[in-house]
Chain A
Amino acid sequence: MKRVLILAALVALPTARAEAGGDAAHGREIYESRCIACHSPDANRVGPRHRGVFGRKAGSLADYSYSKALRGSDFVWNDQTLDRWLTNPQALVPGQKMNFKTAQAEDRADLIAYLKTLQ
């Protein structure tokens, strides 16, 4: 039983961190180091633009060519969905095309905190 509780706590940890609020300044550094190859806040490039992504329905930008899988998804980008996406996009939306994983929970929380500032 104790082991189950520990596992449950570990599973819940990333989301809890994201909800607790990360370091947006460090998130920006990560963004400009790792995400910038494909994404920009204000322009659709290899990936879609990110301004306004927090709270937006996934796959909903009319002027970006999403995968069928993401275009057909039905969820909103929030702390939980962004954390799951950054952890393993394919696990959240099978058939999507990003396939870039952010392994560290703290990095994901910081990235999400930065994405929230892009309003």
Chain B
Amino acid sequence: MSNQPANTTIIRPIQKLNLGRRGMFRIAGMTTLSAAAIAVLGGCKTMAATPMVSEGDVNTLNVALGLEHEAINAYQLGAESGPPAKAGARRRGPVPKPPQAASRCPDRRDQEHGGTPVAEKPMNDYAKALNASTLKSQADVLTLAAKLEKGAANAYLGVIPSFESKDLAQVAGRLAADEVMHWTVLASALKQSLPEKALTFGA
């Protein structure tokens, strides 16, 4: 592991990527399809009425949104755990979070399409679920992060066959690629060797 604090060199950059990625679930405009899906996640009936997104796909997206919530909070926990970073390198207070998905929809009363967006939990809930109190060192933080990233990569790969929409399946593939990228950085920092076998992920 380098002499640079992991918070600064690894955790923060990945955290920043994750924050930007959650926006993908929120910001309409990638494609009509994803805009509709995001509308469903936001509980917007008028947009969600589109037949392009199936209920199953909405459910899967909602689980993905839950994963994104947890990932962002896990990295925040990681950034706040372990030895302090160099003076000035560490942000004061929590990383600002983007507005909630549901807030983009003008009519939150309509959440009847099976599309009630999964809510972000309080940070303490994530801390408890992830046993954050046991994170005593940079290695602890990186190990937890690597475990979650590997799991997330496999999770996104695992839901690809379930998507009815090929566009959303591709999005899941791209998210999985992101997770693998994060895992590789973390594994490298932990001085873990790369897997010896091919097709390590998704099986």
Q: Chain A: residues with CB nearer than 8 A to chain B?
A: 32-38, 40, 43-47, 67, 90, 95-104
Contacts and interface: CB of A to CB of B under 8 A. Distances in A.
Nearest to B202: A34
A38 B67 contact: yes
Given A45-B129, A46-B70, A34 B158 contact: yes
B59 A38 contact: no
Contact of A37 (B55, B118, B154, B203): B154
B: contact size bracket:
20 to 34
Interface string B144-166: 00011011101100110110000
Contact of A33 (B63, B70, B150): B150
Contacts, number: 68
A95 B58 CA distance: 10
A62 to B, nearest CB: 16
Interface of B is mostly: helix
At the interface, is chain A mostly helix, strand, loop or mixed?
A: loop
B184 interface: no
A99 B60 contact: yes
A37 B118 CA distance: 16
Nearest to A37: B151
B37 to A, nearest CB: 14
B70 A97 contact: no
The 4 closest A-B pairs by CB, nearest first: A37-B151, A43-B129, A36-B151, A99-B162
A34 B201 CA distance: 9
22 contacts: A32-B151, A33-B150, A33-B151, A33-B154, A37-B67, A37-B148, A37-B151, A37-B152, A38-B63, A38-B66, A38-B67, A38-B155, A43-B129, A45-B129, A90-B162, A95-B59, A96-B59, A97-B62, A98-B63, A99-B159, A99-B162, A100-B155
A22 B158 CA distance: 21
A112 to B, nearest CB: 17
Contacts of A99: 56, 59-60, 63, 159, 162
Contacts of A104: 203
A119 to B, nearest CB: 20
B197 interface: no
Contact of A34 (B67, B70, B131, B151): B151
| Most B Cβ at <10 Å: residue of A34, A96, A103 | A34
Nearest to A65: B118
B151 A46 contact: no
Contacts of B70: 45-46
A35 B59 CA distance: 17
B114 interface: yes
A46 B162 CA distance: 18
